[in-house]
Amino acid sequence: MQRRDFLTLSALGGGAVFASGLAGCATRAADAMSGSAAAYDDFYFVQLSDTHWGFQGPPNPDAGGTLRKAVAAVNALDKPPEFIVFTGDLTHTTDDPSERRRRLGEFKSIVADLKVKTVRFMPGEHDASLDRGAAYKEFFGETNYTFDHKGVHFIVIDNVSDPGAKIGDEQLAWLKDDLAKRDKSAPIVVFTHRPLFDLAPKWDWATRDGAQAIELLMPYQNVTVFYGHIHQEHHQMTGHIAHHSAKSLIFALPAPNSQPARTPLPWDPAQPYKGLGWREIEAEKKGTSFDLHEFPVVRA
């Protein structure tokens, strides 16, 4: 069985697969059931997010062990991903610069145990907002960059180093210049920490100038955004652009605007790690559509 078939059949069996853009989901399921899946040579990668290394508190009594369990789970995959991405909040914030660096160093040491060595990072506001990314850069380099993989153009946008959750004019100009080099039909994936759109401004779940980034991306026909920050799965379209948030690896947060405050959901001793997890993202059709497959921290 090809990997694509396996993931699609998992969806048919009640697994948590989300097909980006939605329209292709039924088609792929039908292909799998009829056994007519075409030869598959696309790729998949893994997204982990919001590990908040250094956090301590009742929402996760295993705060020191959850990240290591996720690393072990990714390492146990039958077929390794071609790369792994962490979409920010690698560490939990602290006022102490030396403690911030200690946490960043410990995080880096733990994820060095990942068997897959191509790992992409970006900061969250907990990593970077209090010092505008200074400590983060010492450990992980630039906070915005691009890379290409099998014909897909990946753009990492930093919307956290400014404590006001702004991308900023300079980075927007950089984005505009980079996009100008792309064909309008090019497959483009954006990684960022905060939602680029106004998901829940009352909970500070937004990017102040995110609309400008979306406006720059809008002329491109195949754009998908993966982000973190909100500690839960969420899927939303802005026009033809799909935005997918990832679960956290420290604590879950409530659904947007579902209660007065965005307080962490309590740890459930009967269901440890409930609401936490990571995902596989399978690129199909040369990176113009994606299948998302959600995994728990610990498999039952």
Partner 1 sequence: MKSTPLDRRGALRAGFAATAAAAAGLVVLRAAPAFAQSTASSAGPRVIKMTAHRFAYEPAEVPLKVGEKVVVEINSLDFVHGMNIPDLKTRLDLVPGRITKLELQPMQPGDIEFVCDNFCGDGHETMHGKFVVSA
Return residues touching partner 1 (CB under 8 A). 92-95, 125, 129-130, 160, 163-166, 198, 201-204, 206, 208, 261-263
Strands 187-191 vs 152-156: parallel, antiparallel or unpaired: parallel
Tell the burial category of 77 from Cβ atoms under 10 Å away from its Cβ (0-12, 13-18, 19+): middle
Distance CA 83, CA 109 (A): 18
CB under 8 A, 24+ apart: contacts of 251-259 = 251/52, 251/55, 251/57, 251/59, 251/60, 251/275, 251/276, 252/276, 256/199, 256/200, 256/203, 256/205, 256/230, 257/200, 257/202, 257/203
Q: Which is nearer to partner 1, 56 or 75 (CB)?
A: 56
Q: Which is nearer to partner 1, 129 or 221 (CB)?
A: 129
Q: Which is nearer to partner 1, 261 or 300 (CB)?
A: 261
Distance CA 209, CA 167 (A): 6
Q: Which is nearer to partner 1, 101 or 293 (CB)?
A: 101
- Shortest distance in whole angstroms from residue 230 CB to partner 1: 11
The token duo for 37 is 């899946």
- Shortest distance in whole angstroms from residue 169 CB to partner 1: 10
Q: Which is nearer to partner 1, 229 or 244 (CB)?
A: 229
Q: Which is nearer to partner 1, 25 or 200 (CB)?
A: 200
Distance CA 125, CA 229 (A): 9
